[in-house]
Each structure stands twice: as structure tokens, then as C-alpha cells.
Amino acid sequence: MAELRTEEEQLEALKSWWKENGRSLLIGVVVAVSAVIGWQGWQSYTERQATEASWLYQNLVEAVVRELDENPNPQLETIMHLGSQLKENHSKTTYSQFAALLLARVAVQTQDYSEALTQLDWVLERASEEDLKVVASLRKARVLLAMNQVDEASSLLSGLSPRSFTALYYELLGDIALQKGDLNSAAQAYDQALAAAENMPNQPVLQMKRDELGREAG
């Protein structure tokens, strides 16, 4: 009988504990399960988003090569559509910033410099990677120079650290100095660019710019 009472007491104690704690325990289990399911769902969603962004960017690059680089009469609708999709639907990804750089290139090729500046500013407002900011800044300075806004281009470069783009930076400084008519400064900048551009694809063009100034310049 003592054992029976003990079992009955244990059962009553269990009932009492469940009455007091069972609801909160169930809620905790539900919350934990929901968190796991939610995290798995979020991971699946982000993976799908990354895959879609990568696919869109690959198609954008192929469209740019096909239309801008290989087609004498380019059709830009596909490029603009893909670029807009990336910027609108994947604006927090680096793919969208690369897309804006490509759209800026399209705008420059069609001499729509205002649109090119808009795309480059879009990148500068969102880029977290310093190298990407430098690339966008250098291209913006190049566009400003094409618009004959020489002082604005010079001002943009004055506070810029070129990081791994030293050759492009000094070449652009040389182009700005040349457009200002300062041949000595242009020659010095081209010399610095050449020193940094060893084995780079743009070296022959850069060397030609320097040679056109003559040995007396600089």
C-alpha cells in the first residue's frame, strides 16, 4: 500500500507539474521547431536568391558581349532588362553593383553620359567593398572628363586612394593634365602609370600616350 500511495503521489505531482508548466513547455517546443523550420526556409530562400542573381548576371554579361562587343548594330533591350532586374530584385548583392557598372558602360558607349553617372553613383552609394568603390570612382572621373568637366574629375581623384588600380589612376591623372594643357604633369603621371602597368593589357596604349608627349616633356 505504501508503494501504491507513492505511485499515486508521484502521479498527482506529475499532474500538478504539467498543469503549471505543460503549456509553457509546449509553447517552447513550438517556438523551437518554428525557429528551425524558419531558419531552414530562410537559408533555402537566400540560396535561391543567390542562384537567381548569379544566373541573371551571367546572362547580362553574355548579352553585353553579344550586343556591345560583337554586334555592329546592338540591341540593348535585353541588357537593360536584365540589368534592371538585378538592381530591383537583388539590390543588396554585389551582382547588382556589377550590373550597374555594365549599364554605365552601355551608357558611355551610347554617349549617354548623364545615365552613366547615375549608374556609377548608384554603385558608390551601395558598395561596401573598397575596390569596387575605387573602380566606380575611376570610371566616374573618366565620364566627367568625357563631359569636359575637368575640374570635377580632378577633384574626384584628389581624395581617392587607388589601392590596386595604381596604373589606371595615374593614367587618368595624365589624361586630365593633358586636357588641361599641362604637358609636364601629364608626362609625369604617364611615367608613374607605366611603372605600375608592367605586363598589363593597357600598357601599349599608355606607352603611346607617353610617346606622343615626347621625351622633353616631364
pLDDT digits (tens, 9 = 90+) for 153-184: 999 999 899 988 999 999 999 999 999 999 99
What global pTM score does this model have? 0.75
119 contacts: CB under 8 Å, gap ≥ 6: 100, 101, 103, 104, 107
Can you tell me the distance from the alpha carbon of 156 to that of 140, in angstroms, rounded to the nearest whole number? 8
Task: For residue range 87-135, list pLDDT tens digits in order.
Answer: 999 888 898 999 999 999 999 988 999 999 999 999 999 998 999 999 9
Specify the higher pLDDT residue, 71 or 196.
196
**pLDDT surpasses 70 at 20:** no
Task: For residue range 22-72, list pLDDT tens digits in order.
Answer: 556 555 554 554 445 554 544 544 567 678 888 898 998 898 888 877 777
What letters, b where the CB count within 10 A reaches 16 and e where it falls short, cover 129-165? eeebbbbbbbbbbbbbbeeebbeebbebbeebebeeb
Phi, psi of 102 (to 5 degrees): -65, -40
pLDDT of 177 reads 95
**pLDDT surpasses 80 at 198:** no
Can you tell me the distance from the alpha carbon of 79 to that of 58, in angstroms, rounded to the nearest whole number? 11
pLDDT of 42 reads 40
pLDDT of 165 reads 92
Average pLDDT over residues 129-153: 95
pLDDT of 50 reads 72
Residue 214: which pLDDT band, with cuts at 50, 70 and 90?
confident
Can you tell me the distance from the alpha carbon of 70 to that of 114, in angstroms, rounded to the nearest whole number? 25
pLDDT of 45 reads 42
Can you tell me the distance from the alpha carbon of 49 to that of 30, in angstroms, rounded to the nearest whole number? 28
Residues in the chain: 218
Average pLDDT over residues 6-22: 59
Angstrom CA distances, 205 to 104, 168, 186, stand at: 22, 12, 15
Can you tell me the distance from the alpha carbon of 204 to that of 193, in angstroms, rounded to the nearest whole number? 12
The domain ranges of the chain are 1-110, 129-218
pLDDT of 3 reads 46
Under 8 Å between Cβ of 78 and 35:
no
Can you tell me the distance from the alpha carbon of 81 to that of 99, in angstroms, rounded to the nearest whole number? 11
Q: Output the nine-digit C-alpha cell for 26.
A: 509546449
Q: Output the nine-digit C-alpha cell for 132.
A: 569596387
Under 8 Å between Cβ of 134 and 162:
yes
Is the domain spanning 129-218 CATH 1.25.40? The answer is yes
